[in-house]
Structure 1
Amino acid sequence: MEQQDPRVADLGFARVDVDRAARTGDPEVVFGAGKTPDQVVAILRTLHAEHPERAVLATRLASEALDAVATELPGATVDVAARAATLGPLPEPRGRVAVVAAGTSDGPVAAEVAVTVAVHGSAVDRIDDVGVAGLHRLMSVRDRLEEADCLVVVAGMEGALPSVVGGLTGVPLVAVPTSIGYGASLGGIAALLTMLNSCAPGITVVNIDNGYGAGVHAARVARQSAPR
């Protein structure tokens, strides 16, 4: 008989990594795309049972999965804008991440960043609609950029905002290209290439619409930067 690995919870359709928090400091996260509502609920319930002391996260949830989580897991918090859900108490925040969005249309990705940062143990400062088409809006929040331990800058269209922010401050910065834009934006590729080719030093770039990846990185930077 095959011996069950205690680091894995085998649900039949998924092998849930219940040891990840011990290895990395953060529990496994449910990537909801392609999973049925019942599967999302089952994985969240399993992770919560292993980590009742802190929130676990599910991302990229369809509306049916969001409804199922809200119904089947009464203690869960559903974030419709982020298409995400959390179950369990958020950790005490250490450090602060400013989530800077170029436009309102970038809001869903920025929302995914924000909920991810909170679940991964840092405070969030949302700064919305400060794109390069109106630089005065960005300059009016410059003090909030400087006060953060890490920045996540979310932009579609031509993706210029991270370069501008990176030229204004030396705070560690993660750039997130979004798929927002007209035809020649190529679903976010134009913004991605702009960010990868930025002349501003010290910018880290994640994949198109990857608010989750940016949020994890930023929270870890902020946690490490904050006074202990």
Structure 2
Amino acid sequence: MAEPDGVVPGVAELDHDRARRRGYPEAVYCEGKSPDQLRRIATALAARPGDAATIFTRADDVRAAAVLEVLPDARHEPDARLLAWPPGEPDPTGGLVVVVCAGTSDLPVAREAELTARYLGRRTELVVDVGVAGIHRVLARVETLRAADAVVVVAGMDGALPGVVAGLVSAPVVAVPTSVGYGAAFEGLAPLLTMLNACAPGVGVVNIDNGYGGGHLAAQIAAPRAGGRMG
């Protein structure tokens, strides 16, 4: 008896209907999955390609290699630990998502957020190394920030940057804490709490190191709306 559509026996049940139901396809979280499991998932996806790209997140070199064995043309972005298949980016619609990275150490999570928003169909711009230790750096990018329909702010250490940005722009701010920082940052808990306690309104917070979640939420915020200011 044939398995139901999307079922990879003993491994996964792929949600092929999610793009129709929610407007965005399912992603594959690679961390914790074995290379063989990922090969089997990739094989099932190859048998039924969708209209939108499937994003593979948290793919280290070993897991990325397993996906690429089956989908050799997948786009692989090692710095973001992300793959996308099919590799072509969609034509952008809706508004602009600006991803702000506090420091270079936060860049892997910021790149995950940026690429996620881009593969979900938004124009993106990445602003790097504008943490609050040099406040002039973010103030110099205010024009770019104010052009955004959603801003993703990725920061570790004290996590103060999202509140600063939210005080400068009218767009919603999606705050992404990272596990970057010395001991008392508690692997991202300190910036998470700072962001949850931001005094500037309009800040939403996702989980520690969750660039995918931050980019996805920003893409939804900046999605096209009939009659709105976005095309």
* TM-score normalised by the chain length of structure 2: 0.92
Segments of 5+ residues of structure 2 without an aligned counterpart are none
Greater Cα shift, 22-31 or 61-70: 61-70
Greater Cα shift, 166-175 or 32-41: 32-41
Greater Cα shift, 56-65 or 218-227: 218-227
Change (3 A) 1:208 1:144: same
Query: 2:82 is matched with which residue?
Result: 84
**Structure 1: which amino acid aligns with 2:230?**
P
**1:49 Cα deviation after fit:** 4.1
Are 2:27 and 1:37 aligned? no
**1:4 Cα deviation after fit:** 5.7
Query: 1:126 is matched with which residue?
Result: 126
Alignment of 1:23-102 (within 5 A): 23-88=21-86, 89-94=88-93, 95-102=95-102
**1:150 Cα deviation after fit:** 0.6
Count the aligned residue pairs.
225
Greater Cα shift, 210-219 or 62-71: 62-71
**Structure 1: which amino acid aligns with 2:64?**
L
3-state SS of paired residue (1:57)? strand
3-state SS of paired residue (2:92)? coil
Change (3 A) 1:179 1:51: same
Q: Name the CA distance, whole Å, in 2 between partners of 1:223 and 1:70.
A: 30
3-state SS of paired residue (2:166)? helix
Segments of 5+ residues of structure 1 without an aligned counterpart are none
**CA contact 2:117–2:218 (8 Å) conserved in 1:** yes
**CA contact 1:99–1:125 (8 Å) conserved in 2:** yes
RMSD, aligned α-carbons? 1.7
**1:15 Cα deviation after fit:** 1.1
Q: Report the identity percentage.
A: 48
**CA contact 2:60–2:78 (8 Å) conserved in 1:** no
Q: Name the CA distance, whole Å, in 2 between partners of 1:41 and 1:147.
A: 41
Q: Name the CA distance, whole Å, in 2 between partners of 1:127 and 1:69.
A: 30
3-state SS of paired residue (1:168)? coil
**CA contact 2:43–2:70 (8 Å) conserved in 1:** no
3-state SS of paired residue (2:80)? coil
**CA contact 2:162–2:195 (8 Å) conserved in 1:** yes
Greater Cα shift, 116-125 or 51-60: 51-60
**CA contact 1:44–1:56 (8 Å) conserved in 2:** no
Change (3 A) 1:133 1:67: same
Query: 1:114 is matched with which residue?
Result: 114
Q: Name the CA distance, whole Å, in 2 between partners of 1:221 and 1:44.
A: 29
Are 2:226 and 1:227 aligned? no
**CA contact 2:73–2:85 (8 Å) conserved in 1:** yes
Are 2:13 and 1:10 aligned? no
**1:20 Cα deviation after fit:** 0.7
**Structure 1: which amino acid aligns with 2:92?**
P
**CA contact 1:58–1:85 (8 Å) conserved in 2:** yes
Q: Name the CA distance, whole Å, in 2 between partners of 1:81 and 1:29.
A: 18
**CA contact 1:154–1:178 (8 Å) conserved in 2:** yes
